[in-house]
């Protein structure tokens, strides 16, 4: 027997209509690519999103068409998010940090019709334009005064000259009725960063994005409301900035977009000026901010919580946020295939009641699943492993915002109804999950496993170390042994002995790397993760 309530689709356009109606004064602040700070309200954003929908319609964009962006976090990108998905087309965000060949592949694979670009990324587009047969037009996300002088020559596609976003928007009115359609329809397309093989597309639906937003804003998840002032440093070109543009719009939270400047000084200034209390980003961004604050003897006065994900948050960072700035670091885990939210380690009543040292042992873990996500760990044969906090296994997930198949793939991406995340993890009896490693990065030494992440987290606590990378490289006796590579803090010179000694007493003796090297730089992926494949390749003969 069915329930007897109304049926209705969960659509992204409804979020903005809600914010326009009930949070009309809620602010959206952006540091623009052109320079100045831009400030407006949800009401203004909603009006402009409708103008944009009219503009896109006039360009022939139809239900299901892909509209791509290469853009920073800012108000025009936000308008695209809502106008494109709202009208039934698919917002396809592209990571500009990918190699040009990957960007070209992605644009061809998605068959994007339009490409909307911030000024910073025009050189990429100029180079790729001849290779993109499906692309009809470029929209430059700026005003007339900032359109490049040679735009007509370098950004025309066939007979179509490039469009200046602001001048064209101004020609369209804000009368637009968002269409109603099934919430199963694709809304947002995001490609994985593809460290092995080609990038793969994940197509989120309206329903999955809305459910993800509902789950994210819960008090024991991100705890967002109209009281919040949120600064997403995590880019809108990577898994919708962890869904923050939707969750903030759902709640009317003030949103602060950092644009192209994510260095410590720029972030500190924006946090202070706008009184941001909730920040989100990857560990490297926070290393930069904490360094800047330390060197300039400054404190964070308004921030209450910072969400750190994408890579493991080292204990040293958790402590520095807490003990110097009185900020609770919420360790989070997720992935492109999960829209991205999987787990959060939030300040529950129980965690806050613990002495700091005990609490940190929880905060080092990536936390517990938000409602909607199910987790389990399994062995090589797919048998479930115990949740005892020490048994490692392949981390499998399930839920309404978890991938079923990659974009344009005929094959399901699931194994018996679960998605294999490619991560190795432990789960403790209270449900706290801890990432041990990527399956392909875990170090296999003499038949046992060593977590490269755990070793890196320890190494960055060394007073001379800025960044650390541990890889397993071939060893004649043990198959693989860990090798530590570090970047030194400016004006520091760590020795091999002090680096290796630093592990003593912190891990089992056989986990301690056999050697340590100080390097000038480490390779990273387009999403800021260590590119361990290339480190392993460079050093594969180190122990032979």
Catalytic residues: 192, 337, 444, 449
Rounded distance between C-alpha atoms, residue 482 and residue 459, angstroms: 13
Q: Applying CB under 6 A, does 259 fall inside the site for ligand AMP?
A: no
Render the burial of 282-291: b for 16+ CB within 10 Å, e for the rest: bbbbbbbbbe
Using rule CB under 6 A, residue 340 touches ligand AMP: yes
Closer by beta carbon to ligand AMP, 249 or else 336: 336
CB of 13 or CB of 366, closer to ligand AMP: 366
Distance in Å, CB of 536 to ligand AMP, minimum: 16
Query: Comparing C-alpha atoms, which of 253, 252, 329 is closest to residue 290?
Result: 329
CB atoms < 10 A from the CB of 225, how many? 13
Size, binding site for ligand AMP by CB under 6 A:
20
Q: Is 258 in the site for ligand AMP (CB under 6 A)?
A: no
Q: Are the beta carbons of 113 and 66 closer than 8 angstroms? A: yes
Would you say 46 or 421 has its CB closer to ligand AMP? 421
Q: Which stretch binds ligand AMP (CB under 6 A): 308-316, 378-386, 406-414, 534-542?
A: 308-316
Nearest to 70 by CA among 40, 38, 106, 43: 106
Compute the least distance from the CB of residue 142 to ligand AMP, in Å.
29
The answer to whether 462 contacts ligand AMP (rule: CB under 6 A) is no
For position 336 contacting ligand AMP by CB under 6 A, the verdict is: yes
Minimum CB distance to ligand AMP, residue 423 (Å): 5
Q: Which is nearer to ligand AMP, 30 or 240 (CB)?
A: 240
The token pair at 393 is 């296994």
Q: Report if residue 280 touches ligand AMP, rule: CB under 6 A.
A: no
Q: Which residues of 473-507 are buried (b: 16+ CB within 10 A; e: fewer)?
A: bebeebebbbbbbbbbeeeeebeeeebbebbeeee
Using the contact rule CB under 6 A, the part of the chain among 28-36, 327-335, 479-487, 534-542 near ligand AMP is 327-335
Task: Tell whether residue 423 is a contact of ligand AMP (CB under 6 A).
Answer: yes
d(CA 76, CA 261) in angstroms, rounded, equals 16
Q: CB neighbours (10 Å) of residue 382?
A: 12
Question: Minimum distance between the CB of residue 402 and ligand AMP, rounded to whole angstroms?
Answer: 12
Give yes or no for residue 310 binding ligand AMP (CB under 6 A).
Answer: yes
Q: Does 314 bind ligand AMP (CB under 6 A)?
A: no
- Phi then psi for 315, rounded to 5 degrees? -55, -40
Q: How far is CA 47 from CA 16, 51, 120, 169, in A?
A: 10, 6, 26, 11
Near ligand AMP by CB under 6 A: residue from 193, 223, 228, 339: 193
Could you tell me if 69 and 241 are in contact, meaning their C-beta atoms sit under 8 angstroms apart? no
Query: Coil, helix or strand for 164?
Result: strand
CB of 339 to ligand AMP, least distance (A): 10
Q: Which of 311, 363, 445, 452 binds ligand AMP (CB under 6 A)?
A: 311
Single out the residue of 74, 86, 258, 309 in contact with ligand AMP (rule: CB under 6 A).
309
259 bridge partner residues: 73
Contact window for ligand AMP (CB under 6 A) among 155-163, 267-275, 303-311, 377-385: 303-311
> How far is residue 467's CA from residue 453's CA, in Å, rounded to a whole number?
12
CB of 85 to ligand AMP, least distance (A): 20
For 414-439, the three-class secondary structure string (H helix, E strand, C coil) is CECCEEEEEEEEEECCCCCEEEEEEC
One symbol per residue from 431 to 450: x for binding ligand AMP (CB under 6 A), - otherwise; what is it? ----x--x------------
Q: Does 312 bind ligand AMP (CB under 6 A)?
A: yes
The pairing of beta strand 137-140 with beta strand 163-164? parallel
Asked if residue 135 lies in contact with residue 107, where contact means CB atoms within 8 angstroms, the answer is yes
**Residues comprising the chain, all counted:** 544
Please, which residue, 106 or 435, has the CB nearer to ligand AMP?
Answer: 435
CA distance 294 to 300: 11
Among 76, 331, 365, 536, binds ligand AMP (CB under 6 A): 331
124's CB contacts (< 8 A; 6+ apart) are: 70, 96, 100, 103
If the CB atoms of residues 183 and 456 are measured against ligand AMP, the closer one turns out to be 456
Closer residue to ligand AMP (CB): 138 or 442: 442
Q: DSSP labels for 514-531? A: SEEEE-S---B-TTS-B-
- Of 65 and 423, CB closest to ligand AMP: 423
Query: What residues from 220 to 239 belong to the interface with ligand AMP (CB under 6 A)?
Result: 239
Q: Which is nearer to ligand AMP, 140 or 526 (CB)?
A: 526
Instruction: Kindly identify the residues of this chain, within the stretch 363-422, that bind ligand AMP according to CB under 6 A.
Output: 366, 421-422
Cis amide prior to 506 (ω within 30 degrees): no
Q: Under the rule (CB under 6 A), what is the footprint of ligand AMP?
A: 192-193, 239, 309-312, 331-333, 335-336, 340, 366, 421-423, 435, 438, 527
């Amino acid at each position: 027997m069915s329930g007897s309530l109304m049926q209705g689709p969960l659509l992204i356009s409804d979020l903005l209509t809600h914010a326009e109606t009930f949070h009309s004064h809620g602010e959206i602040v952006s540091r623009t690519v052109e320079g100045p700070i831009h400030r407006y309200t949800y009401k203004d954003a909603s009006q402009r999103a409708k103008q944009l929908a009219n503009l896109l319609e006039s360009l022939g964009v139809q239900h299901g068409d892909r509209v791509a962006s290469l853009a920073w976090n800012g108000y025009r990108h936000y308008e695209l998010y809502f106008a494109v998905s709202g009208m039934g087309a698919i917002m396809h965000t592209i990571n500009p940090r990918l190699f040009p060949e990957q960007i070209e592949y992605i644009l061809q694979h998605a068959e994007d019709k339009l490409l909307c670009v911030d000024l910073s990324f025009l050189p990429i587009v100029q180079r790729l334009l001849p290779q993109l047969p499906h692309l009809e037009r470029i929209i430059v996300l700026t005003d007339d005064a900032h359109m490049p002088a040679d735009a007509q020559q370098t950004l025309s596609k066939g007979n179509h000259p490039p469009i200046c976003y602001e001048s064209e928007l101004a020609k369209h009115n804000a009368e637009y009725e968002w269409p109603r359609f099934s919430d199963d329809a694709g809304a947002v397309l995001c490609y994985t960063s593809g460290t092995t093989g080609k990038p793969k597309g994940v197509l989120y639906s309206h329903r999955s994005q809305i459910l993800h937003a509902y789950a994210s804003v819960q008090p024991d998840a991100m705890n967002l409301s109209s009281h919040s002032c949120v600064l997403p440093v995590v880019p809108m070109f990577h898994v919708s900035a962890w869904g923050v543009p939707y969750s903030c719009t759902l709640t009317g939270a003030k949103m602060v977009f950092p644009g192209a400047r994510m260095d410590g000084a720029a972030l500190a200034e924006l946090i202070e000026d706008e009184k941001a209390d909730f920040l989100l980003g990857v560990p490297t961004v926070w290393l930069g901010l904490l360094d800047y604050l330390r060197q300039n003897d400054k404190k964070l006065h308004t921030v209450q919580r910072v969400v750190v994900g994408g890579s493991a948050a080292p204990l040293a960072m958790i402590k520095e946020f807490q003990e110097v700035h009185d900020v609770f670091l919420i360790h989070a885990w997720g992935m492109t295939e999960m829209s991205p939210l999987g787990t959060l380690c939030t300040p529950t009543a129980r965690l806050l009641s613990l002495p700091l040292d005990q609490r940190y042992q929880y905060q080092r873990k990536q936390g517990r699943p938000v409602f909607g996500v199910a987790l389990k760990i399994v062995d090589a044969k797919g048998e479930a492993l115990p949740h005892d906090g020490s048994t490692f296994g392949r981390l499998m997930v399930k839920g309404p915002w978890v991938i079923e198949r990659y974009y344009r793939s005929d094959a399901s991406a699931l194994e018996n109804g679960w998605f294999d995340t490619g991560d190795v993890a432990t789960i403790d009896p209270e449900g706290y999950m801890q990432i041990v490693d990527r399956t392909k990065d875990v170090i296999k030494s003499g038949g046992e496993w060593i977590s490269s992440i755990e070793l890196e987290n320890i190494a960055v606590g060394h007073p001379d170390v800025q960044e650390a990378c541990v890889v397993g490289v071939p060893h004649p006796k043990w198959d693989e042994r860990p090798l530590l590579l570090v970047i030194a803090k400016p004006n520091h010179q760590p020795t091999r002995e002090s680096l290796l000694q630093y592990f003593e007493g912190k891990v089992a003796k056989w986990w301690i790397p056999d050697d340590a090297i100080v390097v000038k730089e480490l390779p990273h992926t387009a999403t800021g993760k260590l590119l361990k494949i290339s480190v392993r390749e460079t050093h594969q003969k180190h122990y032979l």
